[in-house]
Amino acid sequence: MTQTSQLPRQPHAEVPDEPPAPPGASEATRLMCAGTYFDAAYRDAVIEELYVHEERIVAPSLGFDAARVLAHALRARRIELGWAGAILALWVVGLPLSGFSLLSFLFSYLLLTAASWIRGPKRRPPWYRRVPATWMRWWGILTLIGFLGATVQAAFGGGEQVFSAVGAALTPAGVPEPTGEITKPLQAWVALVVLALVAGCVAAQQEQFARTLGQELHPSRFGDTAADPAEHFTGRRFQRLRERIRMEQRSPLVMYQGAHPFCGAGQAHDTWTLAVELRPDPDRTEPPLPVNNRVILDKIHELLARLRLPSPHAGDAVRDRLRAMELDECVFLPVAGLPRRDLAPYDPDAFLAHRTESVEEGGESRRHFLRARVGGWEEEVVTTVFVRVHTQGGMLMLEIAPHVLLPVRADFENADRVAHQYRNNTPLGKAVWALARTPRSVIEAIATLVRGASLTFRTQTAGYGGALPDGPACSVRELASGDSASLFQDMDVSRYLKSIQDRVAQGVRQVLKEAGYRTDEFAQKVVNVSGGSTLIENVKGSFAIGDNNVVTHKAPGVAGASSTRGADGNG
Protein backbone atom coordinates (compact mmCIF):
# COMPACT_ATOMS: atom_id res chain seq x y z
CA MET A 1 0.00 0.00 0.00
CA THR A 2 1.34 3.39 -0.96
CA GLN A 3 1.55 6.03 1.74
CA THR A 4 1.39 9.72 0.96
CA SER A 5 2.52 12.38 3.40
CA GLN A 6 0.86 15.74 3.60
CA LEU A 7 3.36 18.43 2.66
CA PRO A 8 3.64 21.57 4.77
CA ARG A 9 1.77 24.61 3.55
CA GLN A 10 3.86 26.38 0.91
CA PRO A 11 3.94 30.18 0.94
CA HIS A 12 2.16 31.50 -2.11
CA ALA A 13 3.77 34.20 -4.22
CA GLU A 14 1.14 36.22 -6.04
CA VAL A 15 1.40 36.52 -9.80
CA PRO A 16 0.91 39.90 -11.47
CA ASP A 17 -2.68 39.20 -12.54
CA GLU A 18 -3.76 38.32 -8.99
CA PRO A 19 -4.44 40.94 -6.31
CA PRO A 20 -1.72 40.85 -3.64
CA ALA A 21 -2.60 39.84 -0.11
CA PRO A 22 -3.31 42.89 2.07
CA PRO A 23 -0.43 43.80 4.40
CA GLY A 24 -2.77 43.55 7.38
CA ALA A 25 -3.17 39.83 6.70
CA SER A 26 0.51 39.03 6.17
CA GLU A 27 2.38 36.51 8.27
CA ALA A 28 4.67 39.24 9.60
CA THR A 29 1.64 41.16 10.91
CA ARG A 30 0.23 38.04 12.53
CA LEU A 31 3.47 37.18 14.32
CA MET A 32 3.92 40.75 15.55
CA CYS A 33 0.36 40.73 16.91
CA ALA A 34 1.11 37.44 18.65
CA GLY A 35 4.27 38.93 20.13
CA THR A 36 2.29 41.63 21.93
CA TYR A 37 0.63 38.92 24.08
CA PHE A 38 3.86 37.21 25.14
CA ASP A 39 6.40 40.04 25.39
CA ALA A 40 5.44 42.92 27.66
CA ALA A 41 8.51 44.97 26.68
CA TYR A 42 7.65 44.80 22.98
CA ARG A 43 3.99 45.54 23.71
CA ASP A 44 4.91 48.64 25.71
CA ALA A 45 7.29 49.79 22.94
CA VAL A 46 4.48 49.54 20.36
CA ILE A 47 2.08 51.51 22.56
CA GLU A 48 4.76 54.09 23.36
CA GLU A 49 5.60 54.74 19.71
CA LEU A 50 2.15 54.58 18.09
CA TYR A 51 -0.25 55.54 20.89
CA VAL A 52 1.45 57.63 23.57
CA HIS A 53 3.52 59.80 21.19
CA GLU A 54 0.63 61.04 19.13
CA GLU A 55 2.82 63.68 17.50
CA ARG A 56 5.07 61.11 15.77
CA ILE A 57 4.33 60.19 12.19
CA VAL A 58 4.40 56.44 11.73
CA ALA A 59 7.31 54.86 9.87
CA PRO A 60 6.56 53.31 6.46
CA SER A 61 5.08 49.88 7.08
CA LEU A 62 6.58 47.57 4.46
CA GLY A 63 4.54 44.39 4.28
CA PHE A 64 2.56 44.76 7.51
CA ASP A 65 -0.14 46.86 9.16
CA ALA A 66 1.10 48.87 12.14
CA ALA A 67 -2.47 49.85 13.10
CA ARG A 68 -3.47 46.21 13.59
CA VAL A 69 -0.36 45.55 15.67
CA LEU A 70 -1.31 48.53 17.85
CA ALA A 71 -4.86 47.22 18.19
CA HIS A 72 -3.63 43.90 19.57
CA ALA A 73 -1.04 45.60 21.78
CA LEU A 74 -3.79 47.65 23.43
CA ARG A 75 -6.02 44.61 23.74
CA ALA A 76 -3.23 42.53 25.28
CA ARG A 77 -2.53 45.33 27.77
CA ARG A 78 -6.19 45.58 28.77
CA ILE A 79 -6.33 41.84 29.35
CA GLU A 80 -3.09 41.82 31.33
CA LEU A 81 -4.13 44.81 33.45
CA GLY A 82 -7.41 43.08 34.31
CA TRP A 83 -5.71 39.89 35.45
CA ALA A 84 -2.98 41.84 37.26
CA GLY A 85 -5.61 43.77 39.22
CA ALA A 86 -7.37 40.54 40.20
CA ILE A 87 -4.11 38.87 41.28
CA LEU A 88 -2.97 41.85 43.32
CA ALA A 89 -6.38 42.09 45.01
CA LEU A 90 -6.17 38.44 46.03
CA TRP A 91 -2.72 38.94 47.54
CA VAL A 92 -3.75 42.13 49.35
CA VAL A 93 -6.83 40.45 50.86
CA GLY A 94 -5.11 37.16 51.54
CA LEU A 95 -2.01 38.50 53.34
CA PRO A 96 -3.72 39.73 56.55
CA LEU A 97 -6.28 36.91 56.56
CA SER A 98 -3.51 34.32 56.37
CA GLY A 99 -1.46 35.91 59.12
CA PHE A 100 1.03 37.14 56.50
CA SER A 101 2.25 33.60 55.97
CA LEU A 102 1.99 34.14 52.22
CA LEU A 103 5.15 36.25 52.44
CA SER A 104 7.11 33.04 52.91
CA PHE A 105 6.33 32.00 49.36
CA LEU A 106 7.95 35.17 48.08
CA PHE A 107 11.24 33.85 49.45
CA SER A 108 11.05 31.02 46.90
CA TYR A 109 10.39 33.55 44.15
CA LEU A 110 13.49 35.52 45.13
CA LEU A 111 15.61 32.38 44.92
CA LEU A 112 14.24 31.45 41.48
CA THR A 113 14.73 35.00 40.23
CA ALA A 114 18.31 35.07 41.51
CA ALA A 115 18.94 31.77 39.71
CA SER A 116 17.72 33.29 36.44
CA TRP A 117 19.95 36.34 36.86
CA ILE A 118 23.01 34.24 37.70
CA ARG A 119 22.52 31.95 34.70
CA GLY A 120 22.26 34.86 32.26
CA PRO A 121 20.66 35.03 28.81
CA LYS A 122 22.96 32.56 27.03
CA ARG A 123 21.66 29.12 26.13
CA ARG A 124 24.86 27.42 27.30
CA PRO A 125 26.39 29.64 30.00
CA PRO A 126 29.87 28.92 31.42
CA TRP A 127 30.19 26.50 34.32
CA TYR A 128 30.80 29.22 36.92
CA ARG A 129 27.32 30.55 36.10
CA ARG A 130 25.56 27.28 35.43
CA VAL A 131 26.54 25.53 38.68
CA PRO A 132 25.39 28.20 41.18
CA ALA A 133 22.29 28.91 39.09
CA THR A 134 21.32 25.23 39.16
CA TRP A 135 21.89 25.06 42.91
CA MET A 136 19.84 28.23 43.47
CA ARG A 137 17.00 27.04 41.24
CA TRP A 138 16.66 23.69 42.99
CA TRP A 139 16.80 25.39 46.38
CA GLY A 140 13.96 27.66 45.30
CA ILE A 141 11.91 24.68 44.16
CA LEU A 142 12.53 22.81 47.43
CA THR A 143 11.58 25.81 49.55
CA LEU A 144 8.40 26.27 47.52
CA ILE A 145 7.46 22.62 47.99
CA GLY A 146 8.43 22.79 51.67
CA PHE A 147 6.35 25.85 52.46
CA LEU A 148 3.42 24.46 50.50
CA GLY A 149 3.63 21.18 52.43
CA ALA A 150 3.92 23.07 55.70
CA THR A 151 0.80 25.05 54.89
CA VAL A 152 -1.16 21.88 54.13
CA GLN A 153 0.06 20.31 57.37
CA ALA A 154 -0.91 23.39 59.36
CA ALA A 155 -4.36 23.41 57.76
CA PHE A 156 -4.99 19.99 59.24
CA GLY A 157 -3.68 21.01 62.68
CA GLY A 158 -0.14 19.79 62.20
CA GLY A 159 1.54 22.19 64.64
CA GLU A 160 1.88 25.82 65.50
CA GLN A 161 5.59 26.28 64.59
CA VAL A 162 5.61 24.37 61.32
CA PHE A 163 6.75 27.36 59.24
CA SER A 164 9.64 28.11 61.54
CA ALA A 165 10.79 24.50 61.35
CA VAL A 166 10.60 24.43 57.55
CA GLY A 167 12.36 27.76 57.29
CA ALA A 168 15.20 26.63 59.54
CA ALA A 169 15.63 23.40 57.57
CA LEU A 170 15.61 24.91 54.08
CA THR A 171 17.33 28.24 54.59
CA PRO A 172 21.13 28.19 54.01
CA ALA A 173 23.50 29.32 56.72
CA GLY A 174 23.97 33.06 56.84
CA VAL A 175 20.62 33.77 55.13
CA PRO A 176 17.81 35.23 57.26
CA GLU A 177 15.01 32.76 57.82
CA PRO A 178 11.61 33.67 56.33
CA THR A 179 9.20 34.35 59.14
CA GLY A 180 5.68 33.00 59.05
CA GLU A 181 3.96 31.36 61.99
CA ILE A 182 0.57 29.81 61.53
CA THR A 183 -1.27 29.50 64.79
CA LYS A 184 -4.71 28.69 63.41
CA PRO A 185 -5.76 26.13 60.79
CA LEU A 186 -8.15 28.74 59.40
CA GLN A 187 -5.26 30.94 58.39
CA ALA A 188 -3.62 28.01 56.64
CA TRP A 189 -6.81 27.30 54.73
CA VAL A 190 -7.01 30.95 53.72
CA ALA A 191 -3.44 30.78 52.44
CA LEU A 192 -4.20 27.63 50.42
CA VAL A 193 -7.37 29.11 48.96
CA VAL A 194 -5.62 32.34 48.01
CA LEU A 195 -2.75 30.42 46.37
CA ALA A 196 -5.26 28.29 44.47
CA LEU A 197 -7.18 31.35 43.28
CA VAL A 198 -3.98 33.16 42.23
CA ALA A 199 -2.81 30.04 40.39
CA GLY A 200 -6.20 29.92 38.70
CA CYS A 201 -5.84 33.52 37.57
CA VAL A 202 -2.34 32.84 36.23
CA ALA A 203 -3.59 29.79 34.35
CA ALA A 204 -6.67 31.62 33.05
CA GLN A 205 -4.57 34.48 31.70
CA GLN A 206 -2.27 32.07 29.87
CA GLU A 207 -5.30 30.15 28.63
CA GLN A 208 -6.81 33.34 27.24
CA PHE A 209 -3.58 34.25 25.45
CA ALA A 210 -3.26 30.72 24.06
CA ARG A 211 -6.88 30.75 22.94
CA THR A 212 -6.27 34.05 21.13
CA LEU A 213 -3.43 32.41 19.18
CA GLY A 214 -5.72 29.53 18.28
CA GLN A 215 -8.68 31.66 17.21
CA GLU A 216 -8.45 35.23 15.87
CA LEU A 217 -4.66 34.98 15.33
CA HIS A 218 -4.82 31.57 13.69
CA PRO A 219 -3.52 31.64 10.07
CA SER A 220 -6.88 30.46 8.74
CA ARG A 221 -8.81 33.30 10.42
CA PHE A 222 -6.33 36.15 10.60
CA GLY A 223 -7.13 37.35 7.09
CA ASP A 224 -10.62 38.44 8.18
CA THR A 225 -9.78 41.84 9.65
CA ALA A 226 -13.42 42.78 10.16
CA ALA A 227 -13.94 39.82 12.51
CA ASP A 228 -10.91 40.65 14.66
CA PRO A 229 -12.15 41.70 18.13
CA ALA A 230 -9.09 43.91 18.63
CA GLU A 231 -10.30 46.13 15.78
CA HIS A 232 -13.62 46.74 17.55
CA PHE A 233 -12.12 48.77 20.40
CA THR A 234 -14.18 51.97 20.62
CA GLY A 235 -11.64 54.28 22.25
CA ARG A 236 -11.71 57.63 20.46
CA ARG A 237 -7.95 58.09 20.62
CA PHE A 238 -7.37 54.64 19.13
CA GLN A 239 -9.94 55.19 16.38
CA ARG A 240 -8.34 58.51 15.45
CA LEU A 241 -4.79 57.16 15.46
CA ARG A 242 -5.73 54.00 13.59
CA GLU A 243 -7.07 55.97 10.63
CA ARG A 244 -4.06 58.28 10.62
CA ILE A 245 -1.57 55.39 10.82
CA ARG A 246 -3.20 53.57 7.92
CA MET A 247 -3.06 56.71 5.80
CA GLU A 248 0.57 57.49 6.61
CA GLN A 249 2.12 54.03 6.50
CA ARG A 250 1.16 53.40 2.85
CA SER A 251 1.81 56.88 1.47
CA PRO A 252 4.58 57.33 -1.13
CA LEU A 253 5.32 60.61 0.65
CA VAL A 254 7.69 59.78 3.52
CA MET A 255 7.89 62.33 6.33
CA TYR A 256 11.17 61.56 8.03
CA GLN A 257 13.21 62.54 11.06
CA GLY A 258 16.62 63.95 10.18
CA ALA A 259 18.54 61.34 12.15
CA HIS A 260 16.62 58.33 10.71
CA PRO A 261 15.56 59.03 7.11
CA PHE A 262 15.08 55.35 6.17
CA CYS A 263 13.37 54.35 9.43
CA GLY A 264 11.18 51.31 8.78
CA ALA A 265 13.16 49.96 5.82
CA GLY A 266 15.47 47.81 7.94
CA GLN A 267 19.24 47.53 7.94
CA ALA A 268 21.29 49.31 5.29
CA HIS A 269 22.95 46.80 2.99
CA ASP A 270 25.98 47.93 0.91
CA THR A 271 24.82 51.45 0.08
CA TRP A 272 26.91 52.98 -2.70
CA THR A 273 27.13 56.14 -4.80
CA LEU A 274 28.63 56.54 -8.26
CA ALA A 275 29.59 59.69 -10.17
CA VAL A 276 30.69 59.58 -13.81
CA GLU A 277 31.55 62.26 -16.38
CA LEU A 278 29.19 62.47 -19.35
CA ARG A 279 31.61 62.25 -22.30
CA PRO A 280 30.49 62.00 -25.93
CA ASP A 281 31.04 58.68 -27.66
CA PRO A 282 33.92 59.18 -30.13
CA ASP A 283 32.49 56.51 -32.44
CA ARG A 284 29.40 58.66 -33.15
CA THR A 285 29.46 61.55 -35.55
CA GLU A 286 26.38 63.40 -34.28
CA PRO A 287 26.48 65.28 -30.95
CA PRO A 288 25.01 63.51 -27.89
CA LEU A 289 21.41 64.11 -26.91
CA PRO A 290 20.58 65.73 -23.57
CA VAL A 291 19.45 63.34 -20.82
CA ASN A 292 17.53 64.08 -17.65
CA ASN A 293 16.63 62.19 -14.52
CA ARG A 294 13.13 61.27 -15.66
CA VAL A 295 14.36 59.52 -18.83
CA ILE A 296 16.85 57.45 -16.86
CA LEU A 297 14.34 56.52 -14.14
CA ASP A 298 11.74 55.49 -16.71
CA LYS A 299 14.24 53.16 -18.38
CA ILE A 300 15.24 51.67 -15.02
CA HIS A 301 11.56 51.18 -14.14
CA GLU A 302 10.99 49.42 -17.48
CA LEU A 303 13.87 46.99 -16.96
CA LEU A 304 12.95 46.29 -13.35
CA ALA A 305 9.37 45.52 -14.36
CA ARG A 306 10.69 42.79 -16.66
CA LEU A 307 12.00 40.92 -13.63
CA ARG A 308 8.38 40.01 -12.89
CA LEU A 309 8.13 37.95 -16.09
CA PRO A 310 8.78 34.22 -15.65
CA SER A 311 10.71 32.07 -18.06
CA PRO A 312 8.63 31.18 -21.13
CA HIS A 313 9.42 27.51 -20.56
CA ALA A 314 8.14 27.55 -16.96
CA GLY A 315 5.01 29.65 -17.36
CA ASP A 316 2.69 29.93 -14.37
CA ALA A 317 4.63 27.28 -12.45
CA VAL A 318 7.14 29.95 -11.40
CA ARG A 319 6.58 31.13 -7.81
CA ASP A 320 9.56 33.44 -7.54
CA ARG A 321 8.89 36.45 -5.31
CA LEU A 322 10.24 38.74 -8.00
CA ARG A 323 6.93 38.21 -9.80
CA ALA A 324 5.26 40.24 -7.05
CA MET A 325 7.94 42.95 -6.85
CA GLU A 326 6.46 46.38 -6.10
CA LEU A 327 7.76 49.41 -8.01
CA ASP A 328 6.84 52.97 -7.11
CA GLU A 329 8.29 56.42 -6.70
CA CYS A 330 8.54 58.04 -3.28
CA VAL A 331 9.48 61.48 -2.05
CA PHE A 332 11.21 62.05 1.28
CA LEU A 333 10.26 65.24 3.11
CA PRO A 334 11.64 66.42 6.48
CA VAL A 335 9.01 66.73 9.16
CA ALA A 336 10.71 69.79 10.66
CA GLY A 337 8.62 72.91 10.16
CA LEU A 338 5.27 71.14 9.90
CA PRO A 339 2.83 72.89 12.28
CA ARG A 340 0.45 69.93 12.79
CA ARG A 341 0.54 66.26 12.00
CA ASP A 342 -2.74 66.37 10.09
CA LEU A 343 -1.32 69.02 7.74
CA ALA A 344 1.17 66.64 6.13
CA PRO A 345 0.61 66.76 2.33
CA TYR A 346 -0.62 63.20 1.83
CA ASP A 347 -3.34 63.97 -0.72
CA PRO A 348 -2.54 62.71 -4.26
CA ASP A 349 -2.36 66.16 -5.87
CA ALA A 350 0.18 67.41 -3.33
CA PHE A 351 2.31 64.28 -3.78
CA LEU A 352 2.28 64.61 -7.57
CA ALA A 353 3.48 68.18 -7.21
CA HIS A 354 6.33 67.11 -4.89
CA ARG A 355 7.29 64.26 -7.20
CA THR A 356 7.34 66.44 -10.30
CA GLU A 357 9.45 69.10 -8.63
CA SER A 358 11.86 66.80 -6.81
CA VAL A 359 12.71 64.36 -9.58
CA GLU A 360 15.02 66.88 -11.30
CA GLU A 361 16.05 69.19 -8.46
CA GLY A 362 18.56 66.95 -6.63
CA GLY A 363 17.81 68.65 -3.31
CA GLU A 364 19.30 67.89 0.07
CA SER A 365 16.27 67.57 2.34
CA ARG A 366 13.58 66.75 -0.24
CA ARG A 367 14.69 63.68 -2.15
CA HIS A 368 13.08 61.61 -4.86
CA PHE A 369 13.66 57.84 -5.07
CA LEU A 370 12.56 54.99 -7.26
CA ARG A 371 11.67 52.23 -4.81
CA ALA A 372 11.77 48.51 -5.61
CA ARG A 373 10.42 46.20 -2.88
CA VAL A 374 10.36 42.41 -2.69
CA GLY A 375 8.47 40.87 0.23
CA GLY A 376 9.80 37.33 0.64
CA TRP A 377 8.92 34.58 3.09
CA GLU A 378 5.39 35.84 3.70
CA GLU A 379 6.66 39.42 4.19
CA GLU A 380 9.11 38.30 6.87
CA VAL A 381 12.18 39.13 4.75
CA VAL A 382 11.63 42.44 2.99
CA THR A 383 14.24 43.68 0.51
CA THR A 384 13.92 47.32 -0.54
CA VAL A 385 16.21 49.16 -2.95
CA PHE A 386 16.06 52.96 -3.19
CA VAL A 387 17.45 54.38 -6.45
CA ARG A 388 18.23 58.06 -7.01
CA VAL A 389 19.62 59.57 -10.23
CA HIS A 390 20.85 63.13 -10.72
CA THR A 391 22.60 64.89 -13.59
CA GLN A 392 24.49 68.07 -12.79
CA GLY A 393 27.38 69.94 -14.42
CA GLY A 394 27.96 67.35 -17.13
CA MET A 395 28.09 64.50 -14.61
CA LEU A 396 25.77 61.66 -13.72
CA MET A 397 25.27 60.70 -10.06
CA LEU A 398 23.71 57.34 -9.22
CA GLU A 399 22.76 56.46 -5.62
CA ILE A 400 21.62 52.98 -4.62
CA ALA A 401 20.52 52.38 -1.02
CA PRO A 402 19.46 48.75 -0.40
CA HIS A 403 17.79 47.93 2.92
CA VAL A 404 16.72 44.58 4.35
CA LEU A 405 14.17 43.80 7.04
CA LEU A 406 15.26 40.62 8.82
CA PRO A 407 12.79 37.90 9.85
CA VAL A 408 10.56 38.30 12.88
CA ARG A 409 12.10 37.24 16.21
CA ALA A 410 12.35 33.53 16.89
CA ASP A 411 10.24 33.71 20.06
CA PHE A 412 7.43 35.34 18.06
CA GLU A 413 7.78 32.60 15.46
CA ASN A 414 7.38 29.99 18.23
CA ALA A 415 4.27 31.63 19.73
CA ASP A 416 1.96 29.20 17.89
CA ARG A 417 3.98 26.23 19.11
CA VAL A 418 3.99 27.47 22.71
CA ALA A 419 0.25 28.17 22.67
CA HIS A 420 -0.54 24.80 21.08
CA GLN A 421 1.60 22.99 23.63
CA TYR A 422 -0.15 24.74 26.52
CA ARG A 423 -3.65 24.15 25.16
CA ASN A 424 -2.96 20.44 24.70
CA ASN A 425 -1.19 19.92 28.01
CA THR A 426 -2.73 17.72 30.69
CA PRO A 427 -4.63 19.28 33.62
CA LEU A 428 -1.75 18.25 35.91
CA GLY A 429 0.77 19.91 33.60
CA LYS A 430 -1.24 23.13 33.51
CA ALA A 431 -1.58 23.09 37.31
CA VAL A 432 2.17 22.62 37.80
CA TRP A 433 2.88 25.40 35.29
CA ALA A 434 0.57 27.80 37.12
CA LEU A 435 1.75 26.87 40.63
CA ALA A 436 5.38 27.41 39.63
CA ARG A 437 4.53 30.97 38.62
CA THR A 438 2.21 31.78 41.52
CA PRO A 439 4.86 33.09 43.98
CA ARG A 440 6.12 35.69 41.51
CA SER A 441 2.66 36.70 40.34
CA VAL A 442 2.33 39.49 42.90
CA ILE A 443 5.59 41.15 41.80
CA GLU A 444 4.66 40.84 38.13
CA ALA A 445 1.16 42.18 38.83
CA ILE A 446 2.59 45.24 40.58
CA ALA A 447 5.06 45.83 37.72
CA THR A 448 2.25 45.50 35.15
CA LEU A 449 0.00 47.97 36.95
CA VAL A 450 2.86 50.44 37.40
CA ARG A 451 3.75 50.29 33.69
CA GLY A 452 0.13 50.70 32.71
CA ALA A 453 -0.36 53.64 35.05
CA SER A 454 2.82 55.28 33.77
CA LEU A 455 1.73 54.99 30.12
CA THR A 456 -1.74 56.30 30.93
CA PHE A 457 -0.36 59.19 32.99
CA ARG A 458 2.03 60.30 30.24
CA THR A 459 -0.67 59.91 27.61
CA GLN A 460 -2.97 62.27 29.51
CA THR A 461 -0.47 64.79 30.91
CA ALA A 462 2.62 64.97 28.65
CA GLY A 463 0.89 67.09 26.01
CA TYR A 464 1.94 64.95 23.07
CA GLY A 465 -1.38 65.59 21.31
CA GLY A 466 -0.58 69.29 20.96
CA ALA A 467 3.17 68.94 20.40
CA LEU A 468 4.90 69.84 17.15
CA PRO A 469 4.97 66.92 14.70
CA ASP A 470 7.98 64.64 14.77
CA GLY A 471 9.25 61.85 12.58
CA PRO A 472 9.24 58.21 13.68
CA ALA A 473 11.70 57.43 16.46
CA CYS A 474 11.58 53.70 15.68
CA SER A 475 9.70 51.16 13.62
CA VAL A 476 7.64 48.50 15.37
CA ARG A 477 8.65 46.11 12.57
CA GLU A 478 12.34 46.73 13.19
CA LEU A 479 11.79 46.22 16.93
CA ALA A 480 10.30 42.82 16.13
CA SER A 481 13.15 41.76 13.82
CA GLY A 482 15.59 39.06 14.82
CA ASP A 483 19.36 39.23 14.72
CA SER A 484 19.95 37.06 11.68
CA ALA A 485 18.34 35.20 8.79
CA SER A 486 18.64 31.62 7.66
CA LEU A 487 20.99 30.62 4.84
CA PHE A 488 18.06 30.23 2.44
CA GLN A 489 16.82 33.71 3.32
CA ASP A 490 20.29 35.21 2.90
CA MET A 491 20.55 33.56 -0.51
CA ASP A 492 17.21 35.05 -1.55
CA VAL A 493 18.17 38.54 -0.37
CA SER A 494 21.44 38.33 -2.28
CA ARG A 495 19.60 37.21 -5.43
CA TYR A 496 17.04 40.03 -5.18
CA LEU A 497 19.70 42.67 -4.63
CA LYS A 498 21.96 41.51 -7.43
CA SER A 499 19.07 41.25 -9.87
CA ILE A 500 17.79 44.73 -9.06
CA GLN A 501 21.22 46.37 -9.03
CA ASP A 502 22.15 44.78 -12.33
CA ARG A 503 18.96 46.06 -13.97
CA VAL A 504 19.52 49.54 -12.54
CA ALA A 505 23.03 49.64 -13.98
CA GLN A 506 21.79 48.31 -17.33
CA GLY A 507 19.11 50.99 -17.48
CA VAL A 508 21.59 53.80 -16.90
CA ARG A 509 24.03 52.34 -19.43
CA GLN A 510 21.35 51.95 -22.12
CA VAL A 511 20.21 55.56 -21.74
CA LEU A 512 23.79 56.82 -21.97
CA LYS A 513 24.52 54.67 -25.01
CA GLU A 514 21.34 55.68 -26.84
CA ALA A 515 21.98 59.35 -26.09
CA GLY A 516 25.50 59.14 -27.52
CA TYR A 517 27.70 59.05 -24.40
CA ARG A 518 30.60 56.75 -23.53
CA THR A 519 29.71 53.87 -21.22
CA ASP A 520 33.09 52.23 -20.59
CA GLU A 521 33.96 54.44 -17.62
CA PHE A 522 30.51 53.88 -16.14
CA ALA A 523 30.88 50.09 -16.50
CA GLN A 524 34.27 50.15 -14.79
CA LYS A 525 33.06 52.30 -11.90
CA VAL A 526 29.98 50.15 -11.30
CA VAL A 527 32.14 47.05 -10.93
CA ASN A 528 34.57 48.83 -8.62
CA VAL A 529 31.95 50.56 -6.44
CA SER A 530 29.69 47.54 -6.07
CA GLY A 531 32.56 45.25 -5.13
CA GLY A 532 32.20 43.11 -8.24
CA SER A 533 28.58 42.20 -7.52
CA THR A 534 27.29 43.68 -10.79
CA LEU A 535 28.49 42.57 -14.21
CA ILE A 536 28.20 45.04 -17.07
CA GLU A 537 29.48 44.49 -20.58
CA ASN A 538 30.59 47.73 -22.14
CA VAL A 539 30.56 48.45 -25.83
CA LYS A 540 34.07 47.01 -26.27
CA GLY A 541 33.29 43.65 -24.69
CA SER A 542 34.81 44.00 -21.21
CA PHE A 543 33.88 41.33 -18.71
CA ALA A 544 34.49 40.57 -15.04
CA ILE A 545 34.74 37.28 -13.16
CA GLY A 546 35.15 36.82 -9.42
CA ASP A 547 35.12 39.24 -6.51
CA ASN A 548 36.92 42.58 -6.17
CA ASN A 549 37.68 42.84 -9.88
CA VAL A 550 39.52 45.77 -11.46
CA VAL A 551 38.44 46.56 -15.02
CA THR A 552 41.02 48.33 -17.22
CA HIS A 553 40.32 49.85 -20.60
CA LYS A 554 42.72 50.68 -23.44
CA ALA A 555 42.19 53.02 -26.27
CA PRO A 556 40.25 51.68 -29.29
CA GLY A 557 42.31 49.96 -31.92
CA VAL A 558 44.90 48.49 -29.53
CA ALA A 559 45.15 44.74 -29.26
CA GLY A 560 43.46 43.53 -26.14
CA ALA A 561 41.18 46.55 -25.96
CA SER A 562 39.93 45.65 -22.51
CA SER A 563 40.86 43.19 -19.83
CA THR A 564 40.01 42.28 -16.26
CA ARG A 565 42.16 41.23 -13.37
CA GLY A 566 40.78 39.23 -10.44
CA ALA A 567 42.19 40.60 -7.22
CA ASP A 568 41.47 37.43 -5.31
CA GLY A 569 43.06 35.07 -7.82
CA ASN A 570 39.77 33.33 -8.58
CA GLY A 571 39.18 34.72 -12.04
Least trusted range by pLDDT, from 97-101, 116-120, 529-533: 529-533
Of 485 and 538, the structure prediction assigns the larger pLDDT to: 485
pLDDT of residue 472: 94
Number of other CB atoms surrounding residue 141 within 10 Å: 15
pLDDT of residue 189: 87
Whether this model's pTM surpasses 0.75: yes
Question: What values do phi and psi take at 550, rounded to 5?
Answer: -120, 115
| Sequence-distant contacts of 181-184: CB under 8 A, at least 24 apart | 181/99, 181/101, 182/98, 182/99, 182/101, 182/150, 182/151, 182/154, 183/99, 184/99
Question: Does position 227 have pLDDT exceeding 80, yes or no?
Answer: yes
pLDDT of residue 174: 46
Residue 295's identity, in one-letter code, is V
Of 210 and 20, the structure prediction assigns the larger pLDDT to: 210
Q: Where do the domains of the chain lie?
A: 19-93+195-263+412-483, 100-181, 267-405+486-539
Average pLDDT over residues 531-553: 45
pLDDT of residue 530: 58
Binning pLDDT at 50, 70 and 90, where does residue 171 land?
low
Q: 568 and 547 in contact (C-beta within 8 Å)?
A: yes
* CA 366 from centroid of its chain's CA atoms: 27
The DSSP code sequence of 116-130 is HHHH-S-SS--HHHH
Question: Does position 149 have pLDDT exceeding 50, yes or no?
Answer: yes
Cα 321-418-411 angle, rounded to 5 deg: 55
Cα 461-465-470 angle, rounded to 5 deg: 120
Binning pLDDT at 50, 70 and 90, where does residue 209 land?
very high
Question: Does position 535 have pLDDT exceeding 50, yes or no?
Answer: no
Least trusted range by pLDDT, from 148-162, 195-209, 331-345, 502-516: 148-162
Binning pLDDT at 50, 70 and 90, where does residue 372 land?
very high
Average pLDDT over residues 131-158: 83
Which residues face 11 on adjacent strands? none
Binning pLDDT at 50, 70 and 90, where does residue 453 land?
very high
Question: Does position 326 have pLDDT exceeding 90, yes or no?
Answer: yes
Q: 223 and 25 in contact (C-beta within 8 Å)?
A: yes
H or E segment at 390? Answer: strand 381-392
Q: 120 and 210 in contact (C-beta within 8 Å)?
A: no
562-566 and 326-334 strand pairing: unpaired
Q: 107 and 146 in contact (C-beta within 8 Å)?
A: no
Question: Does position 449 have pLDDT exceeding 90, yes or no?
Answer: yes
pLDDT of residue 435: 83
Of 446 and 143, the structure prediction assigns the larger pLDDT to: 446
Which residues face 368 on adjacent strands? 331
In angstroms, the CA 426 to CA 412 distance is: 24
Tens digits of residue pLDDT in 408-428: 999 999 999 999 999 999 999
Binning pLDDT at 50, 70 and 90, where does residue 560 land?
very low
pLDDT of residue 534: 44
What Cα–Cα distance (Å) separates residue 406 from each residue in 370, 416, 488? 22, 20, 13
Q: 524 and 551 in contact (C-beta within 8 Å)?
A: yes
Residue 59's identity, in one-letter code, is A
Burial of 413 (0-12, 13-18, 19+ CB in 10 A): middle
- When the pLDDT of each residue in the chain is averaged and rounded to a whole number, the result is 83
Number of other CB atoms surrounding residue 353 within 10 Å: 13
DSSP 329: E
HSE, side-chain direction, 13 A CA sphere, residue 551: 30
Residues of the chain with pLDDT > 90: what percent? Answer: 48
Residue count of the chain? 571
